């Protein structure tokens, strides 16, 4: 039901509508009313695993699309969803408090054109799934929907309520008891019983004495349904919060980052809501555990399971090629064709999808065209919006409905689309940043102000310590996505070149981006001329990686700042690698330090006679590591900057972990699978010999002649 009118009128009729309904949730930025449970829109993650008979969303206090997505999935069959909103024809003019989430400093609510809310209102008015009541018109009686109960479901095995669920339980049991290294991926829309399937399977395994069992998810609340189901089937078990013990076996929850960092023995690991967990964590769990099940929502406000399945498939194929995929289609919490689910999917584009692979490949023979779309164009063309948002969902599997609102309404957003025929092959989203006044720039530099948005200028001013950077005006690439069937064809680079040209035309000072850093992604940006100027000290919650900031200067002022920021980054990174960045991968360190352009001489580029003496005497004789470490570090940093591709991966790992990240001898031995300190030292000498060979042509002739006897000796 949609109640459209003044706020007092909406409240009066909403309270009347739920008078005889218990277990009602009220979602509002203000407060709840009557005998309801109140949640603020930003608390939607707490709704995971909960159920209710009715939900009221007060859009007068702010319309949060993620909250609608969360609320729609918790309503039981026969329940009621009530949306309170301003008059539909004027809703887009409403000064929505939730606009602050998509506004950067310098933009005002008046700058938002209201395309997102206009579209929502239009779809509501045309929907056959809603009862829309406008102020001044009579309120009709609500129809009574038959509620599905367990008695109406086929008795598949006295536990599972659908055949889909029975197959899922059997598949989970097979992972735990069958061949190792054959993980299972379960995907389903919400309300299909995937979490309950995990709970049923867990209970059966505990009854068979198989354990311990571990379950992980983005938040403990996400596995409430799993534990509830297992508890019902194990009435004699010792039940505690997120832990069940049955006889000698246990089922308990472990946070994903804790499980990845501190592996535990388990007969089976179950990962629920996997799409909301960073991909690197999932990959680590996959490699650590021989028996593991991943479960994810396909169309969810908390992250897209479709994107998860596509992007994670590559990792599964490489690591465990015999993995299986199972989809649950039949709903349990409500009936097929449920009106709330149908409307929510339509409003929030939860079923958005890119062009089918065959269709986009058929149109891929031409050169294609790159077009800059307006938000007004997207608002008027539902098919175009569906295809574009579907591509973004597929490429970035933590895309949420809030991102749809940002796409349609965020001021200063530029949308570039690469068409092949009439279909979208790729897209880039960029946003204008910077141009801040000197006073604000100084306050940001000193850490006294933190503005919404303007990520690149603020990071350079505060973290890199260059206040003037906040006064520059540039573009930040927020998203770049290429159709899965057309990747690795150079289309991303083609799109990026177009954006760079457009930025030059608009006299921007720079173009930049920030993303979860991997060697492959850094290589993509560096090929287009954007070099890394910063690496975040903590891992990003979305990507699971440290965020890298890359930049290409387009003006003389930006070039000066770029040169300074790059030099300071190269100076500071080796220091941070023994502190806050001690966990980054050696291959990432090499990618960050390597120079492709903007090269500037660094202190460690100049090897002194003593550096050569120390390095060679360590590599070819029996000098101690501690006595030669300064020279070894300088030689390693020089190699990483100028010749990283010439260092074999196993040598790179050994050298970076010990020399730069200061791992203990035992830590290095464990990581490099060596027997102990003596074996590590032997491999270090071998690694330093390789570095010497890389740089020997640069060694001054008098020094080389002096060292000639050592170089001709057989290594000890």
What residue ranges define each of the domains in the chain, with the CATH number in brackets?
2-134 (3.40.50.11040), 150-328 (3.40.50.300), 357-593 (3.40.630.30), 603-711 (1.20.120.890)
pLDDT for the residue 310: 67
Residue 259 — pLDDT band, cuts 50, 70, 90? very high
pLDDT for the residue 143: 65
Distance of CA 77 to the CA centre of its chain: 32
Residue 543 — pLDDT band, cuts 50, 70, 90? confident
pLDDT for the residue 49: 62
Distance of CA 119 to the CA centre of its chain: 27
pLDDT for the residue 149: 41
Residue 713 has pLDDT above 50, yes or no: yes
pLDDT for the residue 600: 55
Q: Which residues contact 697 (CB under 8 A, 6 or more apart)?
A: none
Residue 99 CA to residue 482 CA, distance in Å, equals 29
DSSP element (H, E) containing 327: strand 324-328
- Percentage helix, strand, coil for the chain under 3-state DSSP, each rounded to 5: 50, 20, 35
pLDDT for the residue 173: 98
Q: Are 664 and 641 in contact (CB under 8 A)?
A: no
Residue 155 — pLDDT band, cuts 50, 70, 90? very low
Residue 394 — pLDDT band, cuts 50, 70, 90? confident
Q: What is the pLDDT of residues 412-467, one digit of tens each?
A: 999 999 999 889 999 999 999 999 999 999 999 999 999 999 999 999 999 999 99
Residue 214 CA to residue 52 CA, distance in Å, equals 28
Residue 106 has pLDDT above 90, yes or no: yes
pLDDT for the residue 685: 97
pLDDT average, residue stretch 704-709? 81
pLDDT for the residue 481: 95
pLDDT for the residue 152: 42
Retrieve residue 243's tokens: 């832990």
Higher pLDDT, 508 or 47: 508
DSSP-assigned states of every residue in 143-185: PPPPPP-GGGS--SSSS-SSHHHHHHHHHHHHHHHS-SS--EE
Residue 159 CA to residue 47 CA, distance in Å, equals 25
Residue 309 — pLDDT band, cuts 50, 70, 90? low
Q: Are 67 and 73 in contact (CB under 8 A)?
A: no
Q: Are 53 and 75 in contact (CB under 8 A)?
A: yes
Residue 639 CA to residue 620 CA, distance in Å, equals 19
Convert 242-305 into a string of H (helix), E (strand) and C (coil).
Answer: CEEEECCEEEEECCHHHHHHCCCCCCEEEECCHHHCCHHHHHHHHHHCCCEEEEEECCCCCCCH
Residue 665 CA to residue 663 CA, distance in Å, equals 7
pLDDT for the residue 255: 94
Residue 275 CA to residue 313 CA, distance in Å, equals 12
pLDDT average, residue stretch 275-286? 87
pLDDT for the residue 276: 80
pLDDT for the residue 700: 85
Lowest mean pLDDT among 139-153, 539-553, 628-642: 139-153
240-243 — which CB contacts under 8 Å span 24+ positions? none
Cis before 600? omega within 30: no
pLDDT for the residue 351: 86
Report how far apart, in Å, the C-alpha atoms of 436 and of each of 446, 469, 474 are. Answer: 15, 9, 11
Name 433's bridge partners. Answer: 474
DSSP conformation class of 660: I
pLDDT for the residue 705: 84
pLDDT for the residue 702: 85
Residue 545 — pLDDT band, cuts 50, 70, 90? confident
Residue 282 has pLDDT above 50, yes or no: yes
Q: Token pair 């309801």 is at which residue?
A: 36
Residue 643 CA to residue 636 CA, distance in Å, equals 10
pLDDT average, residue stretch 215-230? 91
Residue 399 has pLDDT above 90, yes or no: no
> Residue 569 — left, alpha, or beta (φ > 0 → left; ψ -120 to 50 → alpha)?
alpha
Q: Label residue 8 exposed, middle or buried (CB < 10 Å: 0-12, 13-18, 19+).
A: exposed
Q: Which residues contact 110 (CB under 8 A, 6 or more apart)?
A: none
Q: Are strands 413-420 and 369-373 parallel, antiparallel or unpaired?
A: antiparallel
DSSP-assigned states of every residue in 5-73: S-HHHHHHHHHHHTTT--SEEEE-SS---SS-EEE-GGGGGGGTT--EEEEEEEGGG---HHHHHHHHT
Q: What is the pLDDT of residues 571-583, one digit of tens each?
A: 999 999 999 999 9
Residue 190 CA to residue 604 CA, distance in Å, equals 56
Residue 635 has pLDDT above 50, yes or no: yes
Q: Are 273 and 537 in contact (CB under 8 A)?
A: no
Residue 299 CA to residue 352 CA, distance in Å, equals 9
Q: Are 2 and 14 in contact (CB under 8 A)?
A: no
Q: What is the pLDDT of residues 690-703, one digit of tens each?
A: 999 999 999 888 88
pLDDT for the residue 476: 98
Averaged pLDDT of the chain: 91
Residue 157 has pLDDT above 60, yes or no: no
Distance of CA 449 to the CA centre of its chain: 27
pLDDT for the residue 602: 62
Q: What is the pLDDT of residues 70-101, one digit of tens each?
A: 888 888 888 999 999 999 999 999 999 999 99
Q: Token pair 């949306």 is at which residue?
A: 83
Comparing C-alpha atoms, which of 498, 675, 649 is closest to residue 588? 649
**pLDDT > 90: percent of the chain:** 73
Q: Token pair 């799934």 is at which residue?
A: 129
Q: Which residues contact 218 (CB under 8 A, 6 or more apart)?
A: 45, 256, 273, 276, 277, 302
For 347-361, letters b (16+ CB in 10 Å) and e give: bbbbbbebbeeeebe
Residue 43 — pLDDT band, cuts 50, 70, 90? confident
Residue 285 CA to residue 614 CA, distance in Å, equals 42
**pLDDT > 70: percent of the chain:** 93
Residue 305 — pLDDT band, cuts 50, 70, 90? low
pLDDT average, residue stretch 625-641? 96
Residue 148 has pLDDT above 50, yes or no: no
Residue 159 — pLDDT band, cuts 50, 70, 90? confident
Residue 511 has pLDDT above 90, yes or no: yes
Q: Are 551 and 463 in contact (CB under 8 A)?
A: no
Residue 154 — pLDDT band, cuts 50, 70, 90? very low
Rg (CA), the chain: 29
């Amino acid at each position: 039901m949609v109640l459209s009118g003044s706020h007092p009128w909406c409240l009066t009729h909403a309270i009347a509508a739920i008078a005889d309904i218990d277990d009602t949730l009220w979602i509002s930025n203000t407060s709840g009313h009557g005998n309801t449970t109140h949640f603020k829109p930003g608390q939607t993650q707490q709704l995971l695993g909960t159920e209710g008979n009715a939900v009221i969303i007060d859009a007068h206090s702010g319309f949060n699309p993620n909250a609608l997505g969360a609320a729609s999935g918790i309503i039981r069959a026969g329940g009621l969803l009530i949306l309170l909103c301003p008059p539909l024809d004027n809703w887009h003019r409403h000064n929505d408090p939730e606009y602050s989430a998509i506004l950067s400093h310098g933009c005002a609510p008046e700058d938002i054109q209201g395309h997102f809310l206009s579209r929502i209102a239009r779809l509501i008015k045309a929907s056959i799934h809603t009862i829309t009541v406008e102020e001044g018109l009579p309120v009709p009686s609500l129809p009574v929907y038959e509620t599905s109960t367990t008695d109406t479901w086929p008795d598949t095995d006295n536990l599972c309520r659908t055949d889909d669920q029975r197959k899922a339980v059997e598949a989970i049991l097979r992972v735990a008891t069958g061949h190792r290294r054959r993980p299972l991926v379960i995907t389903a829309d919400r309300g299909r019983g995937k979490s309950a399937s995990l709970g049923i399977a867990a209970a059966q395994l505990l009854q068979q004495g198989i354990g311990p069992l571990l379950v992980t998810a983005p938040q403990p609340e996400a596995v409430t349904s799993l534990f509830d189901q297992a508890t019902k089937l194990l009435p004699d078990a010792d039940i505690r919060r997120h832990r069940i013990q049955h006889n000698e076996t246990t089922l308990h929850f472990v946070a994903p980052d804790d499980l990845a960092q501190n592996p535990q023995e388990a007969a089976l690991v179950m990962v629920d809501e996997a799409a909301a967990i960073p991909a690197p964590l999932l990959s680590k769990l996959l490699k650590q555990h021989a028996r593991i099940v991943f479960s994810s929502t396909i169309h969810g406000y908390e992250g897209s399971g479709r994107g998860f399945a596509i992007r994670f498939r590559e990792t599964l194929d490489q690591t465990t090629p015999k993995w299986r995929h199972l989809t649950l289609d039949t709903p349990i919490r409500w009936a097929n064709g449920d009106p709330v689910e149908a409307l929510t999917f339509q409003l929030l584009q939860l079923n958005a999808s890119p062009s089918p692979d065959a269709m986009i490949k058929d149109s891929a023979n031409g050169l294609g065209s790159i077009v800059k779309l307006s938000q007004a164009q997207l608002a008027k063309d539902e098919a175009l919006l569906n295809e574009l948002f579907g591509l973004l969902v597929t490429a970035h599997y933590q895309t949420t409905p809030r991102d749809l609102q940002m796409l349609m309404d965020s001021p200063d957003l530029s949308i570039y689309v690469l068409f092949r025929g009439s279909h979208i092959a790729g897209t880039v989203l960029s946003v204008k940043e910077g141009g801040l006044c000197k006073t604000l720039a100084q306050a940001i530099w000193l850490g006294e102000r933190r503005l919404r948005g303007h990520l690149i200028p603020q990071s350079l001013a505060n973290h890199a310590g260059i206040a003037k950077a906040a006064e520059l005006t540039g573009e930040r690439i927020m998203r770049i996505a290429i159709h899965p069937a057309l990747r690795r064809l150079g289309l991303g680079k083609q799109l990026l070149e177009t954006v760079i040209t457009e930025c030059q035309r608009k006299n921007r000072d720079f173009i930049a981006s920030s993303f979860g850093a991997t060697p492959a992604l850094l290589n993509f940006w560096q090929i287009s001329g954007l070099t890394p100027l910063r690496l975040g000290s903590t891992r990003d919650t979305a990507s699971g990686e440290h965020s890298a900031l890359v930049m290409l200067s387009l003006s003389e002022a930006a070039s000066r700042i770029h040169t300074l920021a790059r030099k300071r980054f190269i100076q500071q990174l080796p220091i941070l690698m023994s502190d806050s960045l001690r966990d980054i991968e050696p291959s990432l360190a090499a990618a960050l330090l390597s120079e492709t352009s903007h090269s500037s001489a660094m202190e460690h580029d100049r090897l002194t006679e003593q550096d050569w003496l120390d390095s060679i005497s360590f590599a070819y004789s029996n000098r101690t590591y501690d006595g030669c470490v300064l020279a070894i570090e300088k030689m390693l940093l020089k190699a990483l900057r100028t010749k990283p591709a010439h260092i074999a991966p196993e040598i790179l790992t050994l050298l970076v972990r010990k020399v730069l990240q200061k791992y203990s001898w035992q830590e290095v031995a464990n990581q490099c699978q060596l027997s102990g300190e003596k074996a590590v030292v032997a491999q270090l000498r071998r690694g330093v010999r390789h570095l010497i060979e890389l740089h020997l042509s640069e060694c001054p002739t008098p020094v080389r002649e002096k060292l000639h006897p050592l170089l001709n000796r057989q290594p000890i």
